[in-house]
Structure formats: structure tokens, C-alpha cells
Amino acid sequence: MAARPAAARPAAARSAAARTEPESTGAEAIVRSLDMLGVTDVFGIPGGAILPTYDALMDSPRIRHVLVRHEQGAGHAAEGYAAATGRVGVAMATSGPGATNLVTAIMDARFDSVPLLAITGQVSSEALGTDAFQEADIVGITVPITKHSYLVTEASEIPGVLAEAHRLALDGRPGPVLVDITKDAQQGTAPFVWPPEGHDAPAASTAKVSRSQIRRAADEIARADRPVLYVGGGAVRAGAAAELRELADLVGAPVVTTLMARGILPDSHPLNLGMPGMHGTVPAVLAMQRSDLLVAIGARFDERVTGDRAQFAPDARVVHIDIDAAEISKLRHAHVPIVADARTALPELTRALRSRDARADLGAWWSFLDGLRQEYPLGFSPTSDGRIAPQHVIQRIGRLTGPEAIYTAGVGQHQMWAAQFIGFERPQAWLNSGGAGTMGYSIPAAMGAKVAVPDRVVWAIDGDGSFQMTNQELATCAMNDIPIKVAVINNSSLGMIRQWQNLFYGRRYSNSDLGTGQDTVRIPDVVRLAEAYGCAALRVEDESEVDEAIGTALAINDRPVVIDFVVSADAMVWPMVPQGVGNDRIRYARDHEAAFGDGV
């Protein structure tokens, strides 16, 4: 992944010179350190081991705390806050189950390179290792899924550790950092020193790009007949949209944007072929497969993009730009590895290309790709049962709301349809759980995004399965004046599980029916549940009602809105590359495998 932009760095310490103030408690030091780091919003829920810090929070004039209903909601809200802004999202929890409830969000942030600071309370130092009430070794639990996990046992350590953790969450490849602070450290006292020693050290991402590697990459691009710019979520984290567009316009090569990179290049841009991968567009998937050069930018060759890696892009050489050296050549050999922040490397590559007198003619390549665009456009068929097509609902939400909104998604069919049928014209407009595939991400992430960017419309597009995992955060939204809009794509089932059961398990629908839709027991009744949480709620069961319901939701801004869109259970996500096969086996529809010939 690539690094986040310099503009997203935390606010400078309020005093450039180190300052020692009278003693404060460790809890006060936590709050004051967050304030000095520019943190304005924290998501969390109190418990005994973190209670001293919650007491200190009451005296903060600048930090807003949002009381969630479950710690997983705090973690995903902090993720949504970070993904929408590039700033560090902060989640806070108590020890034991409070801390372990954050683990899913921490793992999610690690997969998707989200800068997350998790602060947890811990039992007192003398009780560590005794199986004390609500004791859990959260540092040991999270070491494999964080950039670093700290245990703090002295009040004097708190400012330095929090400053280092905050910076580490952002530097290089962004990700989660956990700081576990014992209760006696919160209650103890020490002089408050700010900034801590070493806090102003230069960031690792300022390292220079290798000019020789840039020249080699430019040579590869200049002579390629079938190049593809393969752009991943790291380019979004790097804030490299303008730099990518300049390079793409210069090269004239097709661009594919992964699930995590939707919007980094506008969908309306003529070079954009859309999303590659298991449910990508046919032109994007086959362009990669037929390419002779892949320029991977902040992407990691995930199997959901490559399919069977042994059959992936067999003729392609690889230029790989990534801030994380561990990702380069991990899954696909890089002929030209460039360890660098995308926002720094791309202008260097563009300058090197401008100095080339000649580049390959891409006319035949584009003739092949434009033929694929014409033959295999994204679309959907009428449903077999006469109920609403879920793709239509999501497409209308995108068109009626527009590209300036923020859209989050849970995980499953609705996530893929949202990635396919909403037109994304800017980065940080599409937030979802890519690497971990975390159901329940959508509503709390939307909540966090709305707190971070209150002037934007924020839609949570959720399935009825994902909705039931974190819908308690609707109470948080209602109580804290966070007016998100939620579209429940209610097919009364675990939709992606049902699709796989339909295609690969002989239509044996084992434990995928949820009973939430039309002609079922409707447990829960989405409308009544939303109303109980203080939300405006609507149900839509006919296609003629879709636009009016979306318009009604867009007009309500004084509370959250939930729309129960009752859709067909038979709708499937197409195109699709079945798991375990090569991408040339992409299926455009159930009985239509896309032809893959020589082409060029």
C-alpha cells in the first residue's frame, strides 16, 4: 500500500518548544495528548479499567466523545472517520471483553491500511498475569494485526507513547496501533511534557525515490504495447489522485481501480475500465489478463483480483510501486520494484516519461478494449420473481444523491453491486471492508464518516444480514444527531452465500434464509426496529416507489433514515470469476462465459 498524503498529517503540537507543566494524572495526560495531536473526535464506551480517562474527558473543551453501543461499532466508526479524511481515527474501550470487541475492527484496519489508534484500559499493574476480573492480554492478542501494540504502566510514559503511536498509525503504510494503559498508570501522576522527545522526527515516507528504478519503469511503459495501470487502495491512502490522473493522461493506458480504489480516477474518465477481480467488469478483468505490462500502484495482487495466480496475466511484466516493501514480489514477481509513496513516485515517473521521444502505439490495444466495452457493458436483467432488482435500487441511490456523497457498504452482494453501479468521481467517497470482508462495517463506518465530514450526505448501503450485526449503532446516531441514511437491500437471505449455494452447491440453501423480507415472518421488522431506534423509516416493495423514497430520505436531515428495500432473493452479482480458476474464465452471466481470444 502507499502512504497517506502529507496534508493528512496530524496538527502540529501547540507549542514548538518542549514544555513541562505541573503534574497531571495519567488519565489527564491521555486527554491532553490527544488534544495536542489534533484529535477532535473519539468513539468508545466506558468500563472500569478505562473509567479514569472517561472522567478526564468530561473536562475537555475540544474533544467530542461519541458513546457507541458496542466496541466493534467504535472501531468501525473510527475506521470510517479515518478513511473519509486521511486523519487518524480513535477508538477507546475498557479491558477484557471491551478490548477484545475491538479486535475485528483492528484486523479490518490492518487489511485495508486504515490509520486507527485503539486506546484500551487494562487492569492495574500488580494484577497483570493473575487472571484478574476483565483481564485480557490485548497486546498479545493484537500483535499480529497491528503495526505495533504498547503496554503502558507508568503515567510518565503516556504522552510519548501516544505521540509515537499516532505518528506510527500514519507513517509509511497506514494501519492500526493499540495502546493498552493500566488503571494505575491512569490514576498515577507525572509532569506533563509536550512535545515528547523525538516527536518531531522526520517521517519515514519522506525517503527519496530511486531514480534508476523510475527510469527503468519509464522504459517499460514506453515500450509496452498492452499496458494497464492497476491501481489499489494504497493510492487512495496516499492522496495520489491528481498524480495518477496526470500519469494516466500522459500514457493513455487503460486504468483499472480495485474495490478499495474506486473513485481514485473518475468513473467518467475515458481511460477508466472499472473494477477488476472476481466481480469486476469484463473489460477490466480481460485487460489485465491480456496485458504485457502491469503498473501496480498501491495494490497487492490479492486473489480476489488475480483469480488463480498461476494463470494470471501470463504475458505481463510488472512495475510495482508500493510504500510497503513486504508487498513487493510477495505474490507476483516485480520486474521493476519501487518502494515509495505513490504521491511521491508518480510525478517522478511522469517526468521521466515526458523525456522519452517515442512510446508504443496503443491503437490496437484500445481497439480490443473498446470492443470488450461494447460487447460486455455492466447491466442487469429483470428479476425472475417480479420483485425489485437490487441493482436498480443502488443505481438510483447513486444517481439521485450524486458523487459528492460518501457511500459505505457492508459485505456481500450489496457491496459488489454498490461498487459496480454507483458512479464514483472522487476518492474517499467509497468506504468498505475489502481485505477482511467484515459484515457489520457499514452503519458504524457511515457514522464515523458523517462525524468527520458532516456537510456531506452519507449513505450506508447494507444487506439484511450485515444490518443485523451492528444496527444498534442507529441508537448512537439518533442520540448524537448523526443523520446518516441507511439503505437495507433486503433479500431475506445471506445473499452471497445463497448465490454460491445456487451456483456451486446444487441450490441447497443451508442456513442462508434470514426471514426478513416479503412473505416471511419479518424478524426483525426493519421499519419497526429503525423506528424503535429513533430513526425515520420507510419500506419499499415496488419499483415505482424507489425514487420517491430516496428523495424523502435525502430531505430528512434531523435524524437517521432507514429504508427497507424489499428486493428479489434471486438476483446475482455478475460478472463473476469463480473461485480457483483463471480470470479468462470470467462469466458475464449465469450461462455466458466471456469469450477470450487473441484479440490483439
Catalytic residue among 28, 71, 164, 220: 71
Q: What are phi and psi of 525, to 5 degrees?
A: -80, 110
- pLDDT (tens, 9 = 90+) of the chain, 600 residues, equals 444 333 333 444 444 456 767 899 999 999 999 999 999 999 999 999 999 999 999 999 999 999 999 999 999 999 999 999 999 999 999 999 999 999 999 999 999 999 999 999 999 999 999 999 999 999 999 999 999 999 999 999 999 999 999 999 999 999 999 999 999 999 999 999 999 987 765 454 556 899 999 999 999 999 999 999 999 999 999 999 999 999 999 999 999 999 999 999 999 999 999 999 999 999 999 999 999 999 999 999 999 999 999 999 999 999 999 999 999 999 999 999 999 999 999 999 999 999 988 889 999 999 999 999 999 999 999 998 999 999 999 999 999 999 999 999 999 999 999 999 999 999 999 999 999 999 999 999 999 999 999 999 999 999 999 999 999 999 999 999 999 999 999 999 999 999 999 999 999 999 999 999 989 999 999 999 999 999 999 999 999 999 999 999 999 999 999 999 999 999 999 999 999 899 999 999 887 877 665 455
Q: Which residue stretches of 171-268 are H helix? A: 183-187, 211-223, 233-237, 241-251
CA atoms within 13 A on the CB side of 454: 10
Based on the residue annotation, tell me whether 122 is a catalytic residue of this protein. no
* Distances 410 to 50, 183, 433, 469, 497 between C-alpha atoms, Å: 30, 35, 7, 10, 14
C-alpha angle 298-432-77 in degrees, rounded to nearest 5: 115
Catalytic residue among 134, 311, 472, 518: 134
Buried-exposed string 201-215: b where 16+ CB fall within 10 A, e elsewhere: eeeebeeebbeebbb
Model confidence pLDDT, tens digit, residues 111-140: 999 999 999 999 999 999 999 999 999 999
CB atoms near residue 402 (< 10 Å): 12
Contact (Cβ atoms closer than 8 angstroms) between residue 156 and residue 23: no
User: Closest Cα to residue 122, out of 133, 112, 110, 106?
Assistant: 133
0.85 exceeded by the pTM?
yes
DSSP class of 566: E
Residues 6+ positions from 506 with CB-CB distance below 8 Å: none
- First-to-last alpha carbon distance for the chain, in angstroms, is 32
Which helix (H) or strand (E) segment is 92 a member of?
strand 89-93
C-alpha angle 485-486-490 in degrees, rounded to nearest 5: 155
User: Closest Cα to residue 324, out of 348, 308, 341, 311?
Assistant: 341
Based on the residue annotation, tell me whether 496 is a catalytic residue of this protein. yes
Based on the residue annotation, tell me whether 246 is a catalytic residue of this protein. no
Between CA 305 and CA 261 the distance in angstroms is 12
CB atoms near residue 20 (< 10 Å): 9
Based on the residue annotation, tell me whether 572 is a catalytic residue of this protein. no
Model confidence pLDDT, tens digit, residues 2-23: 443 333 334 444 444 567 678 9
Between CA 353 and CA 365 the distance in angstroms is 19
Catalytic residue among 1, 496, 572, 576: 496
Based on the residue annotation, tell me whether 183 is a catalytic residue of this protein. yes
Between CA 491 and CA 502 the distance in angstroms is 15
Catalytic residue among 21, 126, 133, 504: 133
What sign does the CA torsion over 334, 340, 345, 346 have? positive
Between CA 353 and CA 319 the distance in angstroms is 14
Between CA 391 and CA 381 the distance in angstroms is 9
User: Closest Cα to residue 186, out of 35, 72, 337, 24?
Assistant: 24
